[in-house]
Structure 1
């Protein structure tokens, strides 16, 4: 220690620094907001392309307040993020008694689509599968054939009618000549935030239907390349997420939307990040620049979630089914 500073002085400075480092819940929340905004802007610039984003976190009253509003009302192709909207329409029909999760449909060879998913890997088809089966495949591994299965129980026009009745203006599938088939269509970051928040607070559908969709999108066998990449298994259980990828005349698109919960199931933050006009075509893996950006933004959001006490008025809660490895038997 320098002769010009006594031990007592050094201890006094240390105590002052500790006090300065302590912040009120409001200050902590503002610091977290700044961190998320800073990392978002940095990662957006690194990845390139054109981004349309809405990120919101709850305030002290439990109300979600925007952190990032970056062209959040832009209407864009949602690609596989739209499967959340399709699943919502199917569950709405179940809630109204027009269908059940146990309703069975055949899985014929002529309905099989390639791309993401599992059904095209079977090589033989003809199974009878439940609505619960293909909804799980559609949301967990983004199965494209499952979209066609959804169209068989809720045709394209009916899907759009359901979404309109729920107040969504731009979230639509795109009908084709076959009434039971469609392209996944468009949405906006703000409308996807609204869908996610209502799902998390169990006002989008019946509570048990919301829980069903959340249980799938939070499960550990889902998508991990983006927001959930740099997280422990326990942290991943606290994030419900859906990824989407595609391309158009602007270039590549890489999207991700989801909800983050506290450890005791309180919804704290929503994110809807739609990036288009990107490079690195045909790279659908974790090394794509936009997907790498999602992972860094995701880690920052998790590290800066509002305190659970700040969201004490939010109800009801959604607890995950804890993951435990099983060795057969």
Structure 2
């Protein structure tokens, strides 16, 4: 019969074992930070695999871009209702929805393009963000929040940028502060979490083998691209208890992978994310008994109900 200490250690050990197994199977270069709360509510690392490596975050960086825009909203320089025109010459292909419209010129709110950027990883939305928060200002905001390596990459046009770099540890920090409502004002954190937890978001990786109710307990952001090393497949997020307490963060960055141009669920690294994700969820710690509801802010998603129109 196991002791309470052995039982408490079994969950993290299972997560680490599955992570190592999947990493070895997939190959490539992995840079990962996974952490979960202990009985006191303190975060304890489960996997620290080259967690301070500076890497291209690709679309995971959209979390940092959204953070900078929301910081300006918190300071009264913008509102979620601020409108910009969706210009034809700003449209980018790749992931997203705006390039599918075929006609442009709409006036859309900041809330609209932030939702598109985080829910369906819209690339045009990044350019819309650059119109309200230029590259250098985004980097200044991130630096002021204590991030050393999480940066966008400026280009000649001050309102445009490449998505830039981060580290697994810094992305873990961003996620944990988002979940505990210390990254931004609580209502701003709730807005970003409501998008990244919504069940219409990305399902190929960590959330693949989960029910809709389970998916609502996971806020996640995926990123995929390629560089000279090979393919990159990243995913970072937060898992919550059923009553909204943040329990676990993950930031998995894998590069130097094979299977080029496969951005679907069958990519080996994405399949690995699904297995690791199911293992993490099945081994979530209990919410700390010593944590009062008023001590750690909790976030419950709006329940999903199908609607047939009308």
One of 250, 258, 274 as aligned partner of 2:237: 258
Aligned twin of 2:95 = 116
**Aligned residues of 1:268 and 1:311 also touching (Cα < 8 A):** no
Segments ≥4 residues shifted beyond 6 Å: none
**Aligned residues of 1:266 and 1:311 also touching (Cα < 8 A):** no
Aligned twin of 1:191 = 170
Aligned twin of 2:303 = 322
What secondary structure is seen at the aligned counterpart in 2 of 1:308? coil
Q: Take 2:185 and 2:118, find their aligned partners in 1: how far apart are those partners?
A: 18
The yes-or-no answer on 1:152 pairing with 2:131 is: yes
The yes-or-no answer on 1:303 pairing with 2:286 is: no
**What is the RMSD computed on CA atoms of the aligned residues?**
0.9
Aligned twin of 1:36 = 15
Aligned twin of 1:102 = 81
What secondary structure is seen at the aligned counterpart in 2 of 1:82? helix
One of 69, 73, 95 as aligned partner of 2:52: 73
One of 107, 110, 119 as aligned partner of 1:140: 119
Q: Take 2:108 and 2:8, find their aligned partners in 1: how far apart are those partners?
A: 46
One of 170, 174, 184 as aligned partner of 2:149: 170
The yes-or-no answer on 1:210 pairing with 2:164 is: no
Q: Take 2:153 and 2:281, find their aligned partners in 1: how far apart are those partners?
A: 34
Q: Take 2:145 and 2:223, find their aligned partners in 1: how far apart are those partners?
A: 23
**Aligned residues of 2:41 and 2:288 also touching (Cα < 8 A):** no
**Aligned residues of 1:101 and 1:131 also touching (Cα < 8 A):** yes
Q: Take 1:79 and 1:184, find their aligned partners in 2: how far apart are those partners?
A: 6
The yes-or-no answer on 1:93 pairing with 2:72 is: yes
Structure 1 residue runs of 5 or longer lacking an equivalent are 1-19
**Aligned residues of 2:86 and 2:107 also touching (Cα < 8 A):** yes
Greater displacement, 295-304 / 59-68: 59-68
**Greater gyration radius:** 1
Q: Take 2:3 and 2:210, find their aligned partners in 1: how far apart are those partners?
A: 26
Q: Take 1:258 and 1:240, find their aligned partners in 2: how far apart are those partners?
A: 5
Q: Take 1:310 and 1:55, find their aligned partners in 2: how far apart are those partners?
A: 22
Aligned twin of 1:201 = 180
Q: CA deviation at 1:63?
A: 1.2
What secondary structure is seen at the aligned counterpart in 2 of 1:150? helix
Aligned twin of 1:220 = 199
Give the structure-2-normalised TM-score: 0.98
Q: How many residues are matched?
A: 308
One of 208, 224, 227 as aligned partner of 1:248: 227
What secondary structure is seen at the aligned counterpart in 2 of 1:277? strand
Q: CA deviation at 1:61?
A: 1.3
Q: CA deviation at 1:312?
A: 2.5
Q: Take 2:42 and 2:193, find their aligned partners in 1: how far apart are those partners?
A: 20
What secondary structure is seen at the aligned counterpart in 2 of 1:97? coil
Aligned twin of 1:7 = none
Q: Take 1:56 and 1:312, find their aligned partners in 2: how far apart are those partners?
A: 18
Q: CA deviation at 1:311?
A: 6.7
